[in-house]
Amino acid sequence: MLQRLRRQIPGTVVIMWCIGIAILGIVFWGTVATLRSGKYASAQWVDLFVYGIAQGGIYALIALGYTMVYGVLRMINFAHSEVFMSGPYIGYYVALALDQAGLLNRYPVLGLGIVILVAMTVSTTIAVLLERIAYRPLRRAPRLVPLITAIGASYFLSYAFLGLFGSDLKGYPEIQALKGTWNILGVEVLRPQIVVIVAALVMLAGLYLFVRHTKTGKAMQAVAEDKDCAALMGINVDRIIVITFAIGGALAGAAGVFYALLFKQVKFNMGFFPGIKAFTSAVLGGIGNVTGAMVGGMFLGIAESLFPNLVLDGLGIPAPYQLKDALAFTLLVLVLIFRPTGILGERLAAKKA
């Protein structure tokens, strides 16, 4: 009897479930301890939550680039974090020029629009060039090969920016119209956060409609489903792949400017953490799944902003915000162990079988 049970449930699975339950227990315990201590007022929780949504919107926009490329090519575009960095970096010089001309403060909407457009263009160009130079020749190579190329391209881009523009933090110019707070439903929210949330939501909705309802969007879905079959149906696969990279790049460029609005600075290596977190979001939502990336991004943004105070504080860990960045990695590892298909990832799981 015991032997049959052992054969049915392998040892590693039991160990892993034990670890999972232990982790949930710790999280629960920490949360209860924090809430009972009453250390934080409810207004602080709301602030953290709104900040989490803004952050989550940015993650979602970047995550789309990962997830769409994974959908069509089955590869992790490791260099996507540098695509994200390059847009706002060039945008910084444009913003600086606009600021000196006084345009940024006189017509903030127009000025910001120009900066975002420039950033999107730069990121798109870099994403498309990457595909053309680094990935296209390797489309039939073993799976590790394009991944290593992507890592190389990522380092090349990031350190080329360092060499060209220097290693210092570049402070984005302040926009007067975005200083202070707006009152939304009785809550005072920082203005950049509102702008970022609204713009990100609009873009996410636009992308969703594009993928679902346009001919190109449907072609992208077809290529993601089966490249060879799509080619037989008369879809130009190379073109769709380029479009996928371009859209991913454009969204990442916009996300980069939003990031710069929130944190008011750019740096050559600013892409690494948002990149890896956006990837985590994509995996959380189920990689290859567009809706999943959006949900995953929002979830991660909110979790990351609440988690250190909500859970770690209750566990008595000093300076919990220092461990904020470890959360994304921990979540990533946990999701991949317990639900490799992600929250909404049924589609891909069925295909792998």
Partner 1 sequence: MPAIHSETRFDWSQPVKTGLLGGVAALLLSLIGVIEASHARPVISGIISLGQALLLIVFVLTCVAAIRRAGYARQETSSRGRLLLCGGVAGLMVSVALAALVLIGNVVNLRAVFIKASPELYHLLTLGLDTGGVLALLMSGFLLGIVVGATYLLPARLRRAIAMALGAIPLLAVLYGAFFPGRRFTLPGALALFVVLSAGSYWGGDIRSLVKQRVASLPPAGQRVYKIALWALVALLVLLLPTTGSYPSQMLDLVGLYILMGLGLNIVVGFAGLLDLGYVAFFAIGAYTQAVLTSPEIRWLGEVRLTFWEALPFSVLMATLAGVILGIPVLRMRGDYLAIVTLGFGEIIRIVALSDWLKPYIGGSNGITRIPKPVIGGWELATPGRLYYLIIAGCLLAAVIAARLKHSRLGRAWMAIREDEDVAQAMGIDLVRTKLLAFATGAAFSGLSGAIFAAMITSIYPHSFHLLVSINTLGLIIVGGMGSIPGVILGSLALVGLPEILREFSEYRLLIYGVALVYMMLVRPEGLLPEARRKLELHEAEAAE
Burial group, residue 272, by CB count within 10 angstroms (0-12, 13-18, 19+): middle
Mapped onto helix, strand or coil, the DSSP state of residue 182 is strand
CB of 142 to partner 1, least distance (A): 8
Is residue 79 within 8 A of residue 157, CB to CB? The reply is: yes
Collect all residues with Cβ–Cβ distance below 8 Å to 304 and sequence separation of at least 6: 52, 55, 277, 324, 327, 328
CB of 165 to partner 1, least distance (A): 6
CB of 227 to partner 1, least distance (A): 17
Measured from the CB atom, is 113 or 137 closer to partner 1?
Answer: 137
Measured from the CB atom, is 83 or 199 closer to partner 1?
Answer: 83
Measured from the CB atom, is 182 or 338 closer to partner 1?
Answer: 338
Helices (H) and strands (E) in the chain, counts: 15, 4
CB of 109 to partner 1, least distance (A): 26
Measured from the CB atom, is 16 or 26 closer to partner 1?
Answer: 16
Measured on CA atoms in the order 61, 67, 73, 75, is the torsion positive or negative? positive
Is residue 324 within 8 A of residue 307, CB to CB? The reply is: yes
CB of 60 to partner 1, least distance (A): 18
Binding interface with partner 1 (CB under 8 A): 12, 15-16, 19, 75-76, 93, 134, 137-138, 140-149, 151-160, 162-167, 276, 279, 283, 317-319, 322-323, 325-326, 328-330, 332-333, 336-337, 340
- What is the C-alpha separation between 87 and 129, in angstroms, rounded? 14
CB of 323 to partner 1, least distance (A): 5
Measured from the CB atom, is 28 or 273 closer to partner 1?
Answer: 273
Measured from the CB atom, is 208 or 272 closer to partner 1?
Answer: 272
Is residue 161 within 8 A of residue 85, CB to CB? The reply is: yes
